[in-house]
Structure 1
Amino acid sequence: MSDVQVWIKETVTQNPVVLFMKGTAQFPQCGFSGRAIQLLKASGVENLVTINVLDDPVVRQGIKDFSNWPTIPQLYIKGEFIGGSDIMNEMFENGELQALIKG
């Protein structure tokens, strides 16, 4: 396992909610990342950790390899990969996302 893979694994397991995204929670750099932040806020998330993949190409590729998922954003809750903004949207609409976050 590469250094970036180890770091990603530690990050997603040591924080309850982690979003790998383009930009920051305050300034998302793509519509999907912005939507992901909106959904998380609407779900009552606290202690959200965001990782800006645009800051580091190694992390940007590393998270895709880690999850075997080709797109950003990527949401992890309690160390488990949840999915991207489309999956988050579906889960929000049926109440699953809120239930997972309130855990």
Structure 2
Amino acid sequence: MIEIQRKTDLLFCPRYSDGYTTKHTFPSKILKYMCVEDPILCNKLEGISEKYVRYLNYSKSESKMDWSFAIEDILTKNSDICKSKLAKKDFIKKYGINSVKR
């Protein structure tokens, strides 16, 4: 799966906040995505720790319009892409990826 993901320009995790479950859970797909150097776009969920903020790109809201703006912004600005690639490499070095490779 990682080989397929490496062929993308942007990875998505469009999980919506439900006010309870997303407070106490973390989308494991994000960890898998972090093995690939492409930017990740997701909603800011309460269960995502602040230590991930510099590695992820967030939509302003869960609306379709804000997602479309976020996609356009990420794909047209090199700064977001560079931030994502460099930051994820640092994250993998710091925290390891053994549990993510499965």
TM superposition score normalised by structure 2? 0.31
Name whichever structure is richer in strand by fraction: 1
Question: Whose radius of gyration is greater, 1 or 2?
Answer: 2
Of structures 1 and 2, the one scoring higher in RCO (CA 8 A, sep 6+) is 1
